[in-house]
Chain A
């Protein structure tokens, strides 16, 4: 998703009005109840929230020049990996086996066998079309953020094809951009 991402890829950058800011806060709050307590610090009401629009219907939520969330079209807001590393428990976890790690690192989508093999862990409750954090076998930190294409139960039973779309992974364009200035 963010294979190539740099300052040149930004099509527009706007500070949003309070009503839009409130709407964004609310959807983030619904999506990630775990963040409720820190939401005040991350997205303060007073501080200007900048929305950055990029090609491919990609929107970034930026506070103090630091991108915090992104979303595609009107999909759910997903945190950047840097944010997820700081608050690891806000998202559901999937784990892939070791062999899949280097493919994920080059942006590949996650196939069902990677999740159903011995090294992989599936969280049964996860439905389709939901953001999940992807962890790797034997690693402590999140490897990528994905959007499920199939529910966990389907992944287990069908075991073929793409299970999770790889939206944002370590060392991609968005990761390399810690600050936008």
Chain B
């Protein structure tokens, strides 16, 4: 009973202040990753492997392009940027605040209204920071039909455009808003078929 209990030393992540093993449940795992690689490599051995692989790919590309053999410096800097750049795209756009789960995809659906009339529903443009009211005006003007912003079954809003324009709309979206890549546009064909653009 005379033994004194010694306080255990816990490694708390510098970024999210949680014990290092819980970083994956923390608010921003992507930011924790570089810290974890430096300070707690044994907890997440897959991260180290990932970082090394990315470093290797980037380095080999760079070498091919530039043809200089300064590989070490390039590897560390590129692994940092490679890991964080994708997340930063998503973070920056919706007005600065970090939004969880902003899957950036545009979904285009065709719904039949009367036997020969249909409407095209465009969902997901807000994910790219596009104002829906402006978008619907442009769409209506371009296709000379009515377009309106409608509240969908969830709180998400969507644009309804009269007529069947799914084939032209992809081109139009990528031309007017170069931020939207073709590969993040999906058609719905009986359940989300990844018919990219």
Are these two chains actual partners, yes or no? yes
Please give the residue numbers on chain A whose beta carbons come within 8 Å of chain B beta carbons, in ascending order: 34-38, 85-89, 101-102, 105, 139-141, 143, 170-171, 175-176
Q: How far is the CA of A170 from the CA of B27 in the complex (A)?
A: 11
Contact flag A176-B17 (CB < 8 Å), given A102-B25, A105-B25, A141-B22? yes
A140→B21 contact, CB < 8 A = yes
Q: List CB contacts (< 8 Å) of B1-33 with chain A.
A: 1-5, 7-8, 10, 16-19, 21-22, 25-27
Contact flag A86-B26 (CB < 8 Å), given A139-B21, A170-B18, A171-B18? no
* Secondary structure dominating the interface of B: loop
Q: Tell me the nearest residue of chain A to B26, going by C-beta.
A: A171
Q: Which residues of B contact A101 (CB under 8 A)?
A: 25
Q: Report B11 CB to chain A, min CB distance, Å.
A: 9
A87→B5 contact, CB < 8 A = yes
Q: Report A88 CB to chain B, min CB distance, Å.
A: 6
Central interface residue in B19, B26, B27, by most chain A CB within 10 Å: B19
B5→A37 contact, CB < 8 A = yes
In the complex, 16 of the A-B residue pairs with CB atoms within 8 angstroms, ordered by the A residue number, are A35-B5, A37-B1, A38-B4, A85-B8, A86-B8, A87-B5, A87-B7, A87-B8, A139-B19, A139-B22, A141-B10, A141-B19, A141-B22, A143-B22, A170-B18, A170-B19
Q: How far is the CA of A105 from the CA of B100 in the complex (A)?
A: 15
Q: Which residues of A contact B18 (CB under 8 A)?
A: 170-171
Q: B7: which of A86, A102, A105, A175 is its contact (CB, 8 Å)?
A: A86
Q: Which residues of A contact B7 (CB under 8 A)?
A: 38, 86-87
- How many residues of B are counted as interface, with CB atoms below 8 angstroms from the partner's CB atoms? 17
Q: How far is the CA of A105 from the CA of B17 in the complex (A)?
A: 14
* Secondary structure dominating the interface of A: helix
Q: Which residues of A contact B26 (CB under 8 A)?
A: 171
Q: Which 6 A-B pairs have the closest CB atoms?
A: A86-B7, A141-B19, A85-B10, A37-B4, A38-B5, A105-B25
Q: How far is the CA of A36 from the CA of B3 in the complex (A)?
A: 10
Q: Report A84 CB to chain B, min CB distance, Å.
A: 10
Q: How far is the CA of A40 from the CA of B5 in the complex (A)?
A: 11
Q: Tell me the nearest residue of chain B to A85, going by C-beta.
A: B10
Q: Which residues of A contact B1 (CB under 8 A)?
A: 36-37
Q: Report A62 CB to chain B, min CB distance, Å.
A: 18
Q: Which residues of B contact A36 (CB under 8 A)?
A: 1
Q: How far is the CA of A15 from the CA of B17 in the complex (A)?
A: 29
Q: Which residues of A contact B3 (CB under 8 A)?
A: 37
Q: How far is the CA of A7 from the CA of B21 in the complex (A)?
A: 28
